[in-house]
Structures are given as structure tokens and as C-alpha cells.
């Protein structure tokens, strides 16, 4: 069958590749550079499995900037356009989703199904179904890690579809058909419950990160060994040894916006934990800033802007807030970030020669450290205890 995917980001691109193993997929995006790269079977984002599948697998996949070409005749139209959190209106900006829905309804066959994969507020899909007087708009959350998006589609932790209609079962089977895992937990819910699953799942992960960051803050101030404490706690199988490596704060594209959106959804509901998770991340970043300023550095070198290793994406990385605060404190800054070709980032010099960077910085701040800093270990300030994400 023909399947259209709107948005060539982590979600849309990984789904396009997954489904194009068995079906005709046309990926639609408004950015010509992404479309051109994909039509050359080159990945516009850094992801090992995506790059491997594009170069080695036989995929029935094309990309276009023409939504009519993509949507016309498609049995399924998957919407994976961005929904950034808007601080002014205090909710996700779903403009791109609604614009795509209107185009899809105008172009697609009357029996086609529209699948929302973009993250949306709780209750959004139901309101959209009512607005456009149709039940063929379905929400299905994604659970993908940055840099491992295709891997997580090939080996899904679970498949959740926010509908119990026959087309929902058909879509779940499409996802299962392209995966390499046979024993996948598939759950069909109402749309609003599916939206809540997505936001609560990511907020739980943010809570774990905030918890171990706060533990690390305590250990640093009290001059205790945080790794020994964490190892002892996580030896309990009920707690487990995951999402426990301290950082400068949770960041990336999903967790900051999803926690804020869930907190807004709690506006008329008693809560303590959800609001604490959001504020704990702010406190953690302020603690990191205080620890840096306490060292009275002359020139601070920021080692990498990316949120995690093996990634070329530094949207909403915690280091951005730390950089801004250091700038406000009139600290001289330099940045080592090999993915940036220009000479400056936010008016800060970018030095792509690591040796020069090490020499010029008298304090190196690294959210995630690396063996390439081992020769200047005494200069490095990091809270990365386990050398992993």
C-alpha cells in the first residue's frame, strides 16, 4: 500500500524507513535539503541504523516537498511534524499538525487513516476529531531515543495505538511487520489515554534523572562519593541500574517540553511530584552554575553542545542554560563542537581543534566526558560518573 509520512525528523524518518521495507512510502517535508538528501539515500540526521538501512537495504522510499504528491492515494498518512512547547501560550504549538491534517483531509482518499505521531496535549486528538467531524484521525505515541530512533522501531518496547477501530489494528500490524522483534506488547486504548501514556512515560524518565541529579548535588556539597551511593542504591533490582548517571539536567527535544505540557494538563488537578520535577531541573542547572563560578575560572571551555554521545543534535541541551548564565556573569567562554562549521555560536568562539581548545581553557565543562579529555582531567568539571548517557 501507499503510506505518506509528514516530517523527516527522528520520528518520521525512522518510520519511513521501517515501513518502506514492505510498502511504498513517500516522505513529505518542507525543507528541500532534507528531501534531497533522503532521495540520495543519505540521512539528514545522525543515527547509525538509519544510515545503515539507507545505504544497504532495498527500500521503496522517496521524498518530496509536494504534499499533494505525498498524500494523494495514501492509505495511511503519518504526521510526525514538530510540536515545540510554546512558553507564551503554555502548551505545545500544534499548528504544524493541524495544517498537515487539513492538507491530508483535502487530498487523501475518504477511507484513508491519519495517524498523529507528534506529541500533543492530553485530549488533543479527541478535540481534533470533533473539529473535523471524523474518527479517522488516530493518535499513536512514539517511544524513540535520539540517535537510536530506527533501532527502537525495529525492536519496539511496545506499540500503543489510541483507537480500537479495525484501522488501528491494521496500523499496529504495519509497525510489527517492519520490526525485528516478534514478542511485542501491543495495546489499544482511547486517544486521550494514549496521549497521557506518552507524557507520563517521559515525565517518569525525567523524574529519575532529576532524582539522581539531586542525589549528586547532595553528595557534591557534602563531599561524599556519589558513585558509591548510586551503585549501592541501584543494586536493588526494584530500582535498577538505568537513567541514573548524573548530568547537568535533563534536556533534549522531548523531556523538557513533555514535562511542562503534563504540568499544564495538571492545572486543575492536585499535584506535588509533577511540578517538583520541572523545578528540580532548574535547581540542578543553577547548582552546576554555582559550582563553576566557585572555581573563579578565567576562560571556561564548553566541551560539546550535544545532549548525548553519538548525536549531532543539541536542541534544548541543558548546557545552553548554563552557557547563558555564564555569559550573564561575564565569564569568557569558548566552545569545542566539531559539528559546527562556523566560527561562533551565540557570539561565543567555536574552536574545532581540540588541542587548541584544551590549551586556551583553564576550566573545561563537560556534560558528558570522553577519553579525549583524559590528558587534561584536572581541568575538567563534569558530573558524568559512568561515562555513558
Q: Is 234 a catalytic residue?
A: no
Sheet with 363-365, strands from edge to edge, namely 332-336, 299-303, 363-365, 380-381
- Among 8, 196, 209, 254, the one annotated catalytic: 254
CB 256 within 8 A of CB 281: yes
CB 13 within 8 A of CB 38: yes
Q: Is 150 exposed, middle or buried (0-12, 13-18, 19+ CB in 10 A)?
A: buried
- The cell for 254 is 522531548
Give, rounded to a whole angstrom, the gap between the first and last alpha carbons of the chain. Answer: 39
Which DSSP string corresponds to 323-383?
A: HHHHHHTT-EEEEE-TT--SSEETTEEB---HHHHHHH-SEEE-SS--GGGGGGGGGEE--
Q: How crowded is residue 133: how many other Cβ atoms within 10 Å of its Cβ?
A: 7
Strands 344-345 and 348-349: antiparallel
Q: Which of 202, 204, 208, 161 is nearest to 184 (CA)?
A: 161
CB 331 within 8 A of CB 300: yes
Enzyme catalytic residues: 254
Amino acid at each position: 500500500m501507499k503510506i505518506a509520512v509528514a516530517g523527516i525528523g527522528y520520528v518520521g524518518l525512522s518510520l519511513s524507513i521501517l515501513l518502506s521495507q514492505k510498502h511504498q512510502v513517500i516522505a513529505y517535508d518542507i525543507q528541500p535539503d532534507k528531501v534531497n538528501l533522503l532521495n540520495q539515500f543519505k540521512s539528514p540526521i545522525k543515527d547509525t541504523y538509519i544510515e545503515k538501512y539507507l545505504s544497504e537495504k532495498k527500500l521503496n522510499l522517496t521524498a518530496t516537498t509536494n504534499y499533494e504528491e505525498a498524500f494523494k492515494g495514501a492509505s495511511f498518512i503519518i504526521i510526525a511534524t514538530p510540536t515545540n512547547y510554546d512558553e507564551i501560550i503554555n502548551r505545545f504549538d500544534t499548528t504544524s499538525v493541524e495544517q498537515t491534517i487539513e492538507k491530508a483531509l483535502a487530498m487523501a482518499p475518504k477511507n484513508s487513516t491519519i495517524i498523529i505521531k507528534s506529541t500533543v496535549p492530553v485530549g488533543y486528538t479527541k478535540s481534533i476529531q470533533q473539529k473535523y467531524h471524523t474518527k479517522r484521525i488516530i493518535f499513536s505515541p512514539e517511544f524513540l531515543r535520539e540517535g537510536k530512533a530506527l533501532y527502537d522501531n525495529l525492536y519496539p518496547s511496545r506499540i500503543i495505538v489510541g483507537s480500537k477501530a479495525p484501522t488501528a489494528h491494521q496500523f499496529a500490524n504495519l509497525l510489527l511487520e517492519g520490526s525485528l522483534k516478534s514478542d511485542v506488547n501491543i495495546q489499544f486504548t482511547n486517544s486521550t489515554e494514549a496521549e497521557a501514556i506518552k507524557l507520563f512515560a517521559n515525565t517518569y524518565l525525567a523524574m529519575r534523572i532529576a532524582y539522581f541529579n539531586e542525589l549528586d548535588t547532595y553528595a557534591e556539597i557534602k563531599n561524599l562519593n556519589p558513585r558509591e551511593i548510586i551503585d549501592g542504591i541501584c543494586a536493588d533490582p526494584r530500582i535498577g541500574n538505568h537513567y541514573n548517571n548524573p548530568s547537568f539536567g535533563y534536556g533534549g527535544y522531548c523531556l523538557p517540553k513533555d514535562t511542562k505540557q503534563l504540568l499544564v494538563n495538571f492545572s486543575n488537578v492536585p499535584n506535588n511530584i509533577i511540578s517538583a520535577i520541572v523545578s528540580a531541573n532548574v535547581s540542578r542547572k543553577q547548582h552546576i552554575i554555582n559550582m563553576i563560578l566557585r572555581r573563579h575560572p578565567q576562560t571556561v571551555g564548553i566541551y560539546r553542545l550535544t545532549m548525548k554521545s553519538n548525536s549531532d543534535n543539541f536542541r534544548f541541551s541543558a548546557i545552553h542554560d548554563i552557557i547563558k548564565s555564564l555569559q550573564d556573569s561575564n565569564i569568557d567562554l569558548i566552545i569545542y563542537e566539531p559539528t559546527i562549521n562556523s566560527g561562533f555560536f551565540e557570539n561565543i568562539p567555536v574552536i574545532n581543534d581540540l588541542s587548541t581548545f584544551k590549551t586556551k581553557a583553564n576550566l573545561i565543562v563537560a556534560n558528558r566526558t570522553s577519553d579525549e579529555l583524559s590528558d587534561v582531567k584536572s581541568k575538567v568539571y563534569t558530573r558524568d560518573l559512568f561515562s555513558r548517557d
